[in-house]
Chains A and B, each alone.
Chain A
Amino acid sequence: MEKILEVENLHVTFSTYGGTVKAVRGVDFYLNKGETLAIVGESGCGKSVTSNAIMRLIPDPPGKITKGKIHFKGKDLTKFSEKKMRSIRGVDISMIFQDPMTALNPTLTIGTQLMEGLRDHHKISAQEAKKKALEMMNLVGIPNPEERLKQYPHQFSGGMRQRIVIAIALICEPELLIADEPTTALDVTIQAQILELFGKIQVVTGISIILITHDLGVVAKIADRIAVMYAGKIVETGTKRDIFYRPEHPYTKGLLHSVPRLDVKGELIPINGTPPDLFSPPEGCAFTARCPFAMEVCDKVYPQESELTGTHKVDCWLQDERAKRLIAAK
């Protein structure tokens, strides 16, 4: 399978008055063509920073990509100039933001916002742009598109706005879509509709999607593969099946236990404690302090990546051969 995106050892830091926040600390992942990868994790784990880093949308200063490579179709985006990056944004890689209520400019019509990217990047006539815009409005399921193009964001509901945001992201036919919590700000019924729309879009356009979310329900619905992030690192990756049925990292297990299920009765088990301070992250595994299986080594040395199957990888000392012998001896 062709890899469209490959992120290698990505480090992102933010300089603040209080010190340097190491928001992303060596993230590796890849994305195949036409695939949906979900990056999950709790607030502040670095998932949004990772996605913004791919688009090079991290405000600099204070943010900075200090190390690592982002290969998009074989080219390293971290080496691109701002101008060259502009020709990538919206054209090859698009992004959808969390809150459709604020992502659209209140003073410009939907039509203007929909077509401006298209007209900026491909020098096409107003008529062609409008034709394309109407096509996109139909694709994302907005009735009366002709009329709606002339309206302003405040004349649309939340769900409709998110559809428009998606249409804006797709209008230049990008190959990669980064959706940063695309359903978080929507109510549940609308969430389901938007998720269905993602599925439809992927079938129609064959686009690759990176989905940033903390909602495991969303992940279960549309992701092919999942990367679980904790404190700026990816701690476990695998197919949807690997992660939901055979989670190995204690953090992944904790996440799954803390989601209400219809088929299992009983109380939810929260993950105790809070994420570590990213001003001075621990040397070893950052989850140690909250991990019910923590060992002495966990705190001191970061575990190597263990490849459980071809697709399933986890960073945890419990997967180390020696740990297994220890546990067996007990």
Chain B
Amino acid sequence: MLRYILKRLLIMIATLWIIITVTFVLMISIPGSPFNSEGSSNATVQANLEKHYHLDEPYYIQYLLYLKSIVTLELGPSIKQPDQTVNDLLGRGFPISFELGILTIAVAVISGITLGIFAALRHNGVIDYVAMGLAVLGISVPNFILATLLIQKVAVDWDLLPVATWSSPAHMILPILALATGPMAIIARLTRSTMLEVLTQDYIKMARAKGLSPWKIIIKHALRNALMPIVTIMGTLLAGILTGTFVIEKIFAIPGMGKYFVESINQRDYPVIMGTTVFYSAFLIFMLFLVDIAYGILDPRIKVHKRGGE
């Protein structure tokens, strides 16, 4: 197990390195510089600024400087907000984005699985059709459209919930709803189909023959087996939710990391681009690693062992 984790860590580091390299190449290949828009036509000032941020160095030096900043976890100062470091921005934005992401995942997983189970149990019944109809809607409507609709209807027309920002639990409902609906729909559909398959298995019949109660059979015997495919797509869903947070944070004016990420690209704020990209990637890679570990816990047949032996 330890060996496996070490191996995975190495692969994770290699992945990050590739991401850093690609980000760097993309960064230097987009035209413009952080100082263009400020109208500081004074060439001397600009040269001094570039010198200050090492932008006058050859690319390979810049590249190595970025690598160094990431290895030392000192992501450097933001060019656009000179009194702030990238670490400061992440430290402020991440807890909020994390809260949004985690709550979204919780809502999507719990409601998706519940909906899927009920749809499977009432297979071809009314609940099934309603649940699957909702699921199709959830998959087809993009989160930014849902977000605007929710704001218009729930917040503006009916005045039930606040329109934007992230200051109380009531503020969190709409953004989470907008972000969670898509993944929830996917999970619900998947849960339904795997549950239907699992429920026909012999061990379910055997559990019934033992005289267990229906709920015990579903939770203990069926759900655990039905969860495997859901764990599999969790990785993709996580990535989806993560990118979704940029959009949702923007729409609901949530002061999370997404704002810095998007703005930094527009402003060519190189240290922030590099910092947020690496942070997002590292986070996603780590979550995917957790998903893989979860496999082994859910299904004892999937165990990590040495090559050649059991």
Binding site for B on A (CB under 8 A): 55, 57, 86-91, 94-95, 97-99, 102-109, 116-117, 120-121, 152, 154, 165, 168-169
Binary A-proximity of B198-213 (CB < 8 A = 1, otherwise 0): 0001110111111111
- A289 and B70 alpha carbons, distance in the complex (Å): 83
> Is there an interface contact between B203 and A103, defined as CB atoms closer than 8 Å?
yes
> Is there an interface contact between A154 and B211, defined as CB atoms closer than 8 Å?
no
B106 adjacent to chain A (CB < 8 Å): no
Q: Which of A57, A88, A107 contacts B300 (CB 8 A)?
A: A107
**Known A-B contacts A87-B211, A97-B202, A97-B205; A106 and B216 likewise in contact (beta carbons under 8 Å):** no
- A157 and B87 alpha carbons, distance in the complex (Å): 56
Q: Which of B202, B209, B220, B301 contacts A154 (CB 8 A)?
A: B301
B290 adjacent to chain A (CB < 8 Å): no
- A21 and B301 alpha carbons, distance in the complex (Å): 39
Chain B: CB-nearest residue to A95? B209
B74 adjacent to chain A (CB < 8 Å): no
B56 adjacent to chain A (CB < 8 Å): no
The size of the chain B interface, using a CB distance under 8 A, is 21
A184 CB, min distance to chain B CBs, angstroms? 13
Q: Which residues of A contact B300 (CB under 8 A)?
A: 106-107, 109, 152, 154
Chain A: CB-nearest residue to B198? A105
Interface CB pairs A-B, < 8 A, 26: A57-B209, A88-B211, A89-B209, A89-B210, A89-B211, A90-B212, A95-B209, A97-B205, A97-B209, A98-B202, A102-B201, A102-B203, A103-B202, A106-B203, A106-B225, A106-B301, A107-B225, A107-B298, A116-B216, A116-B220, A120-B210, A120-B212, A120-B213, A120-B216, A121-B211, A154-B300
> Is there an interface contact between A102 and B202, defined as CB atoms closer than 8 Å?
yes
Q: Which residues of B contact A104 (CB under 8 A)?
A: 203, 206
B195 CB, min distance to chain A CBs, angstroms? 14
Q: For chains A and B in complex, what number of residue pairs have CB atoms within 8 angstroms? A: 76
Chain B: CB-nearest residue to A92? B211
Q: Which of B206, B211, B224, B225 contacts A103 (CB 8 A)?
A: B206
A160 CB, min distance to chain B CBs, angstroms? 16
Chain B: CB-nearest residue to A151? B300
Q: Which residues of A contact B211 (CB under 8 A)?
A: 86-91, 117, 120-121
Q: Which residues of A contact B299 (CB under 8 A)?
A: 106-107
Binding site for A on B (CB under 8 A): 201-203, 205-213, 216, 220-221, 224-225, 298-301
Q: Which residues of A contact B201 (CB under 8 A)?
A: 102
> Is there an interface contact between B210 and A57, defined as CB atoms closer than 8 Å?
no
**Known A-B contacts A120-B216, A152-B300, A152-B301; A105 and B209 likewise in contact (beta carbons under 8 Å):** no
Chain B: CB-nearest residue to A106? B301
> Is there an interface contact between A99 and B202, defined as CB atoms closer than 8 Å?
yes
> Is there an interface contact between B209 and A94, defined as CB atoms closer than 8 Å?
yes
Q: Which residues of B contact A103 (CB under 8 A)?
A: 202-203, 205-206
Q: Pick the 6 closest A-B CB pairs, nearest first.
A: A89-B211, A117-B210, A90-B211, A102-B202, A90-B210, A95-B209
Q: Which of B207, B213, B216 contacts A105 (CB 8 A)?
A: B207
Q: Which of B210, B213, B224 contacts A107 (CB 8 A)?
A: B224
- A87 and B211 alpha carbons, distance in the complex (Å): 6
- A107 and B211 alpha carbons, distance in the complex (Å): 19
- A108 and B221 alpha carbons, distance in the complex (Å): 8
- A98 and B205 alpha carbons, distance in the complex (Å): 12
- A229 and B270 alpha carbons, distance in the complex (Å): 81
A312 CB, min distance to chain B CBs, angstroms? 32
> Is there an interface contact between B208 and A108, defined as CB atoms closer than 8 Å?
no
Which residue, B209, B220, B298, has most C-beta atoms of chain A within 10 A? B209
- A202 and B126 alpha carbons, distance in the complex (Å): 48
Q: Which residues of B contact A107 (CB under 8 A)?
A: 224-225, 298-300
- A18 and B91 alpha carbons, distance in the complex (Å): 65
- A95 and B201 alpha carbons, distance in the complex (Å): 15
Q: Which residues of A contact B212 (CB under 8 A)?
A: 86, 90, 116-117, 120
A261 CB, min distance to chain B CBs, angstroms? 33
- A116 and B213 alpha carbons, distance in the complex (Å): 11
Chain B: CB-nearest residue to A107? B224
- A154 and B203 alpha carbons, distance in the complex (Å): 14
A84 CB, min distance to chain B CBs, angstroms? 11
> Is there an interface contact between A89 and B206, defined as CB atoms closer than 8 Å?
no
A129 CB, min distance to chain B CBs, angstroms? 13
Q: Which residues of B contact A109 (CB under 8 A)?
A: 300
- 14 more contacts with CB within 8 A, not counting A97-B202, A103-B202, A117-B212, are A57-B208, A57-B209, A97-B205, A99-B202, A102-B202, A103-B203, A105-B207, A105-B225, A106-B301, A116-B220, A117-B211, A120-B212, A154-B300, A169-B209
A172 CB, min distance to chain B CBs, angstroms? 8
Q: Which residues of A contact B225 (CB under 8 A)?
A: 105-107
- A116 and B210 alpha carbons, distance in the complex (Å): 9
**Known A-B contacts A102-B201, A106-B299, A154-B300; A165 and B210 likewise in contact (beta carbons under 8 Å):** no
Q: Which residues of A contact B206 (CB under 8 A)?
A: 95, 97, 103-105, 165, 168
